[in-house]
């Protein structure tokens, strides 16, 4: 299995999630469905959870990506498993087989 390429890992903070939800970044959400999807994210952040947005090109599984000292080995059934066999978080896939290459993927990872 090949390593993911063009990896971009960003932590989502409570402030930048609030900014997005309130359109402070100049975005016009204009969609009740989108606002409903952001509310659980804000709730998780307010509870102290650490949340990351992971973008990459390549295999559907971001094997080998280092997430806060844990190396991702497997993602399945909304669970993120490290190379040590530990469940380190859960995920929500937001892009699958996207982009012009058909190999762009994105997920929100909720670190445990």
Query: pTM for the full model?
Result: 0.76
Residue 88 is predicted with a pLDDT of: 97
pLDDT value at residue 24? 39
| pLDDT at position 26 | 44
Helix-strand-coil percent breakdown of the chain, rounded to 5?
Answer: 20, 45, 35
Angle at 20 between CA 17 and CA 22, to 5 degrees: 110
pLDDT, residue 15, reads 77
- C-alpha separations of 83 from 16, 32, 77 in Å: 30, 39, 17
- From the list 35, 36, 38, 57, the residue with the least C-alpha distance to 46 is 38
Domain of residue 68, residue span: 5-111
**Average pLDDT, consecutive stretches of 10 residues, N- to C-terminus, the chain (112 residues):** 82 76 49 66 75 93 96 96 96 91 92 90
| Number of compact structural domains in the chain | 1
Nearby residues of 36 by Cβ (< 8 Å), 6 or more positions away: none
């Amino acid at each position: 299995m090949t390593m993911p390429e063009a990896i971009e890992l960003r932590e989502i903070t409570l402030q930048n999630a609030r900014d997005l939800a309130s359109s402070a970044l100049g975005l016009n959400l204009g969609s009740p469905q989108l606002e409903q999807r952001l509310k659980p994210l804000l709730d998780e952040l307010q509870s102290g959870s650490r949340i990351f947005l992971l973008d990459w090109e390549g295999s559907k599984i971001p094997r080998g990506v280092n997430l806060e000292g844990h190396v991702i080995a497997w993602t399945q059934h909304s669970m993120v498993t490290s190379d040590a066999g530990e469940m380190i978080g859960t995920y929500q896939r937001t892009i699958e087989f996207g982009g012009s290459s058909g190999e762009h993927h994105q997920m929100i990872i909720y670190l445990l």
